[in-house]
């Protein structure tokens, strides 16, 4: 598929790119501990020896992945005027990520997902969030911020990272897509459920398998590759989606374009945690798309990247050095 000399120039090309990420940000908090006994009060484990850690999550994890690959992320989102919002800004500063695209809204909560983990076993997750759409005024301010950033130029692609937390309304999706089309900027989408059918005239649309089944009301297994491909090709034609890429967890990735499909099986790995794999896939896909790779090549590199982060506990960004080694080992 690739020539042995392609990857050095490809990964250098990544470092010359600037990607705008628009979507729901959050704090991923981890409580790491040990389980040695069951509670006498209820049949639940007691976790002791707690160590707490907070990381950037959601669309902010996409920004981390873009940065990890050497490119420049421009993160656009809304956080609350609360204590968690302040923590989010501190985490952003620690990672040397710009807050130029962020707006603080005192009427909203900053989303936080808290996971309790023992011996790599995910025991419980607690979500604190607000998922209604932004107020009309905040939507106007947000669109103005995005428009100004795009007017400054230099954006190579836009990623909509949708977690159904309310940042991406149909109005924002349509207006940003229109601006991008006028400026000939590719748009990539990692959809969720609420806005699944809102995305039209998109360069690359990347649902996971569960989102695809629910969005298209399908009854298929991950093994039914041809049936999945046919459904994707039909949906593409109806919604003007140039490339459609479906992540199939341990089965790999399927990509459709120009009426045909390519299936990329996943490499065998020791899977620890699949959290954040979709963020990594859409991030690397955007860089590959901007670099001019064909759909099958985009899927191949993104597939390796998504699998890599599943080897780690918790949400972590891709390791560019490991990825280029794996590209050389498995894609030549």
Residue numbers annotated as active site = 279
The CA distance from 320 to 255, in Å, is 23
Q: What secondary structure, in 3-state letters, does the chain show? A: CCCCCHHHHHHHHHCCCEEEEEECEEEEEEEEEEEEEECCCCCCEEEEEEEEEEEEEEHHHHHHHHHHCCCEEEEEEEEECCHHHHHHHHHHHHCCCCCCEEEEECCCCCCEEEEEEECCEEEEEEEECCCCCCCHHHHHHHHHHHHHHHHCCCCCEEEEECCCCCCCCHHHHHHHHHHHHHCCCCEEEECCCCCCCCCCCEEEECCEHHHHHHHHCCCCCCCCHHHHHHHHHHHHHHHCEEEEEEECHHHCEEEEECCEEEEECCCCCCCCCCCCHHHHHHHHHHHHHHCCCCHHHHHHHHHHHHHHHCCCCCCCCCCHHHHHHHHHHHCC
The CA distance from 20 to 76, in Å, is 7
Closest Cα to residue 107, out of 135, 86, 126? Answer: 135
Parallel/antiparallel/unpaired status of strands 260-264 and 253-257: antiparallel
Q: Which residues lie below 8 Å from residue 25, measured CB to CB, with a gap of 6+?
A: 56, 57, 58, 59, 60, 75, 77, 79, 88, 102, 110, 111, 167
Chain length of the chain: 332
């Amino acid at each position: 598929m690739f020539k042995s000399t392609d990857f050095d120039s490809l990964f250098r090309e990544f470092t010359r790119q600037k990607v705008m990420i628009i979507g729901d940000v959050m704090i991923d908090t981890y409580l790491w501990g040990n389980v040695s006994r069951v509670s006498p009060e209820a049949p639940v484990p007691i976790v002791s020896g707690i160590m707490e850690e907070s990381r950037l999550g959601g669309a902010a994890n996409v920004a981390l992945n873009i940065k990890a690959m050497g490119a420049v992320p421009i993160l656009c989102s809304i956080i609350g005027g609360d204590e968690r919002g302040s923590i989010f800004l501190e985490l952003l500063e620690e990672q040397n990520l710009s807050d130029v695209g962020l707006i603080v809204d005192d009427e909203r909560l900053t989303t936080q997902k808290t996971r309790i983990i023992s011996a790599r076993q995910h025991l419980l997750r607690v979500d604190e969030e607000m998922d209604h759409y932004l107020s009309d005024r905040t939507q106007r301010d947000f669109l103005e911020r995005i428009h100004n950033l795009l007017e400054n130029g230099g954006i190579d692609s836009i990623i909509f990272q949708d977690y159904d937390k309310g940042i991406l309304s149909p109005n924002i999706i349509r207006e940003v897509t229109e601006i991008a089309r006028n400026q000939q900027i590719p748009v990539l989408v990692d959809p969720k459920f609420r806005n699944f059918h809102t995305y039209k005239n998109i360069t690359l649309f990347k649902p996971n398998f569960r989102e695809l089944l629910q969005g298209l009301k399908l009854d298929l297994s991950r093994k039914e590759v041809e049936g999945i491909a046919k459904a994707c090709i039909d949906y593409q034609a109806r919604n003007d989606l140039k490339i459609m890429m479906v992540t199939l967890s341990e089965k790999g990735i399927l990509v459709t374009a120009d009426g045909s499909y390519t299936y990329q099986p996943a490499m065998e790995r020791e899977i620890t945690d699949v959290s954040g794999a979709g963020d990594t896939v859409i991030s690397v896909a955007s860089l590959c798309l901007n670099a001019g790779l064909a759909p099958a090549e985009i899927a191949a590199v993104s597939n390796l990247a998504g699998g890599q982060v599943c080897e780690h506990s918790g949400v972590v960004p891709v390791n560019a050095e490991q990825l280029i080694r794996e590209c050389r080992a498995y894609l030549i």
